[in-house]
Every structure is written in structure tokens, then in C-alpha cells.
Amino acid sequence: MTSKILKNQLHYLDFIEQELLLCPKQPTAPLVIDMFAGCGGFALGFEAAGFRTIGYEMLADACTTYRHNLHTSCYQITLTPASDLVDGADVIIGGPPCQPFSVGGNQRGLKDSRDGFPTFLSAVERYRPKLALFENVRGMLFRNQAYFQEIVNALQKFNYFVEWQILNAVDYGVPQRRERLFCVAHQGGWKWPKKTNLSLHYTAGEALGELALSAPPESKFLTISMDEYVKKYEKASQCIRPRDLHLDTPARTVTCRNLCGATGDMLRIRLPDGRRRRLTVREGARLQSFPDWFEFQGSENSQFNQIGNAVPPLLAKALARSVMAYLNNLENSPSEKVNPPAQYIQLSFDF
């Protein structure tokens, strides 16, 4: 088992090292505004596909991580609809905060003061990129359809076609089952990325390799009382399979909560001697498809939060390649640009 994990681990690490090499900076490369940028997971995928990115993020640690690894600008700023951004960007991307439809939200849609979408929409309206792309949780389509429709309607009023899909990161080389909503506003001719041509999905064991069999000095083990809590949690939730990290399958969704929260939902590794420990920062990063050279800044909890909130870079690169193909097609066939027809604007939300 150990030798198989090590062999496949090298295969996985080689894969992400190859896919996420940063391209040499080309001053003529398309420029991307990265809003609510976090630590740069979205940007890493775009930089690896040949774009230039400039990030805007309010958290200092995340900005430092972004600059340290991507060697580009990331401005520490609390974005508002009036925020000035760089001119001349071909693309705007981002993961706007989504409190308005969360369980604890005020359900006020675009009028919620904590909502990042008015800021995102304002940037699209003022800077008129050739394409805008945002990421959010899949529940946005189901918990509050009216809210999502507000956003789509606003983008369509700016004369964009609007399309969306729920993409699973595991289909793009990420060793994690992570479904997220991606929405694209474009000028015609957009094509979603094809799934990575892998015979099997990468597993957590292939991603973690020998790390999953060891206990580094900084390991944090579950206590007896935590083990009891987990047991009661799984019984109460009728959990059929323990919530431990299973090395023979892709991981379940990596989040801030299950990386560093002391809860029954916590991602944890069961060692050969039976002890269970929390994941390390590097293990969480690998499950998100960050290469080992990507170094996170700040406290451990800050790093966990950066990882859990990030768009997996491998999935980001798949999207970035589609964006690059779209831009090239737009440049080579400008006459094909058309206005969204009326029947397209009157979109039906049949989920």
C-alpha cells in the first residue's frame, strides 16, 4: 500500500507541477482583474494559462500570499461599488461574498450591505470587460433563485450573454469532490472547458502520498473527548461511512470549517496505529491542487481559511484556457459578435 501511494503521489505532484507552471510575464498578455481574490487560487490558474492578473482582496494575509507566489500586484482593499480598479482589463473574475442567501443572511438580495455582487456588477458595468466570470456555492441556484436571477438580469442589461454551470473540481484533476457554480457573462461564442482526460479521478491518497502515513511534529490529534463527540455526531447524522479522509477515493469538499474547525465534520486522517489527526496546511493545499512550491502566509488558521476559500488552481486553469480560446476567437472573428436576442434575455429558471 505504501509503495503504491508513493508512486501515484509522484504522478499527481508531477501533474500539478506541469499544469501550474507560471508563464513568463508577457506585457501583451490579456489582463485579468481578480476581485475578492483571496490567496490567488483563481489567479494561479489564469497565470499558468498565460494571463496577467491583478488582485483586489481585503485580508492582509491573503494579499501577502498572492504577492509572494504570483509576483504580481494584489491590493489590500475593502471593495465597494465605487472602488477604482485598473483600466484595460479584458476579463474580470472573482468570488463575491454570498451572505444574502446564506442561512444567516438577511435575504435582501442585492440590497444586502454584506453582499459583494453590487461591487462585482458595478465593475463589469464600468469597465466593460470582454468576459466576466464569477464562482459561488452551488446552493445559489437552489436556496434563492430570485437572487441569482437578479444578478443574471443585471449582466444581461449590460448586453452580455449569460451562462452558468455547476462544475465538479474532481473532473479537472483535483483530488476532491467539490461542486461549485460558475457563471460567465460573454459576447458570444463561449465554450465550457472539457473534463480532464484522466482514466480515473485522483484520490486523496495519491495527492497526500507519504504525508498521509506520518505524524509531523506539529500534528494535532483528536482527543478522547473529541473522538466521542465525532462518534455521537456520526450516529445522530446517520453517517454510513466515517467522516475520516479515505485515501482510496477523492476527498470530500475542502472548506475552512472542516480544515480547522473542531467539529464532527472535520477532515481527519486515521494513521496505521489507529490515532486520528487533523490535516496539515500542506495536506489541505494538495487536496485543493496547490503545488508544493506555493507558500501560504499568516497564522495556521489564516492559512487554512485561505485554502478552504480558494478556487482550486487546476479547475481555474481549465476555465482560463476556455477564456483564452474565447478571446482569441473574438479577436479573429469580430464580426461574429452579436447582441443577446430578446428571447435569451427572458431566461427561464427551471431547476
Would you say the pTM of this structure is higher than 0.75? Answer: yes
Averaged pLDDT, 14-22? 93
pLDDT digits (tens, 9 = 90+) for 257-275: 889 876 667 888 989 888 8
**Where residue 33 falls among pLDDT bands split at 50, 70, 90?**
very high
26 and 133 in a single domain? The answer is: yes
Q: Which of 137, 181, 127, 135 is nearest to 41 (CA)?
A: 135
The verdict on residue 303 lying in a domain is no
pLDDT at 340: 54
How many structural domains compose the chain?
Answer: 2
The verdict on residue 297 lying in a domain is no
175 and 284 in a single domain? The answer is: no
229 and 83 in a single domain? The answer is: no
Catalytic residues: 98
**Which residue range forms the structural domain that includes residue 242?**
204-292
214 and 189 in a single domain? The answer is: no
d(CA 121, CA 2) in angstroms, rounded, equals 50
193 and 222 in a single domain? The answer is: no
324 and 281 in a single domain? The answer is: no
Q: Decide the pairing of beta strands 52-57 and 161-168.
A: unpaired
128 and 38 in a single domain? The answer is: yes
What helix, strand, coil percent values describe the chain, rounded to 5?
40, 15, 45
pLDDT at 335: 58
39 and 175 in a single domain? The answer is: yes
Averaged pLDDT, 72-81? 97
The verdict on residue 95 lying in a domain is yes
Averaged pLDDT, 125-138? 97
